[in-house]
Amino acid sequence: MGRFGEATAVERVAEGRYSVELDDGYLIGTALNGGYLLAVLARAAVDATPHEHPISTAANFLRVSGPGPAEVRVDVSKVGRTAATSRVSLVQDGRTLIESLITTGTLDPAAEPDWAGEPPVPPVPPIEKCTEGLQNIERDRGFADRVDMRFDPATMGWLDGQPAGRPELRAWFRLPDGEDADAYVLALAVDALPPVALNLGAKGWAPTVELTWHMRAVPAPGPLALHGSGRLLTGGWFDEEVEVWDSAGRLVAQSRQIARVGRGG
């Protein structure tokens, strides 16, 4: 098990209760990355149900999570042959940080799609033409050490005060120590991009209010392509969609989150 696997490991301490040691390597500023936390929740939901994959996860982020010990509580609502449904929450110091609904199921790694849409346009440029954006952001340095992301330079103008004017971000994503992507790495991937609102001139951290993601296929080994986009920024709210495509050219995860525009800093 690699570093990400260890950092997201949960230990069953009772029926529906899991302990976890949240790893400060996934801090972005003073808050742990949401995708990292969703990976932790997914591990507990899969352990508590007779299925292998987190097919669908919907999460409300109530409070900022910090590193250290925490508890995952899984309340299984229904177990079926195709899918099982659970309410899963993350609790730290007696406070609920995340509430989520997780549907687990078992995807066949050999499944061929009955129908698949075209990959997003434009594609992520060849990796050698991409940049390591996060390394330049002081508060992201810990997280930038835990993921290997290479960004489409056309979507990184905001770093230099020149936002692209469209809420898009594109990047290659993999774990730096060569761990292959699995269901839990997909949870990390759907929330790994900086907020797409940065390309509309928003500044700073944009707190996610709700994020739903679906695992659509078991990812092939190799880097993942992340395509982030948005449809509307109004009244301080914006949406962010992320599609994750694997090295075999398959859509393996899709997410949408709704978040508040950062107040700078």
Contact positions toward a second copy, by CB under 8 A?
A: 55-56, 58-60, 62-63, 77-78, 82-83, 85, 87, 96, 99-101, 103, 105, 107-108, 111-117, 167, 200, 209-210, 212, 214, 216-217, 230-237, 239, 243, 251, 254, 256, 258, 260
Closest-CA residue to 174 (of 256, 251, 247): 247
Q: Which is nearer to a second copy, 40 or 164 (CB)?
A: 164
Q: Find the shortest distance in angstroms from Cβ 238 to a second copy.
A: 8
Q: Which is nearer to a second copy, 43 or 216 (CB)?
A: 216
Q: Find the shortest distance in angstroms from Cβ 108 to a second copy.
A: 6
Environment class of 99 (CB within 10 Å of its CB; exposed 0-12, middle 13-18, buried 19+): middle
Measured CA to CA, the distance from residue 149 to residue 56 in angstroms comes to 24
Backbone phi, then psi, for 260, in 5-degree steps? -95, 145
Q: Which is nearer to a second copy, 15 or 108 (CB)?
A: 108
**b/e map 87-97, b = 16+ CB within 10 Å:** ebbbebeeeeb
Q: Which is nearer to a second copy, 187 or 251 (CB)?
A: 251
Closest-CA residue to 173 (of 146, 204, 154): 146
Closest-CA residue to 237 (of 214, 256, 213): 256
Q: Find the shortest distance in angstroms from Cβ 99 to a second copy.
A: 6
Q: Which is nearer to a second copy, 88 or 124 (CB)?
A: 88
Q: Which is nearer to a second copy, 124 or 217 (CB)?
A: 217
Q: Find the shortest distance in angstroms from Cβ 56 to a second copy.
A: 4
Q: Which two tokens stand for residue 254?
A: 């899709």
Q: Find the shortest distance in angstroms from Cβ 200 to a second copy.
A: 5
Q: Which is nearer to a second copy, 150 or 214 (CB)?
A: 214
Q: Find the shortest distance in angstroms from Cβ 69 to a second copy.
A: 21
Q: Find the shortest distance in angstroms from Cβ 231 to a second copy.
A: 4
Q: 126 Cβ partners below 8 Å, 6+ apart? A: none
C-alpha distances in Å from residue 29, one per residue of 25, 201, 265: 11, 20, 10
Whether the CB-CB separation of 84 and 113 falls below 8 Å is answered with no
User: Is the sign of the CA dihedral 234, 235, 240, 241 positive or negative?
Assistant: negative
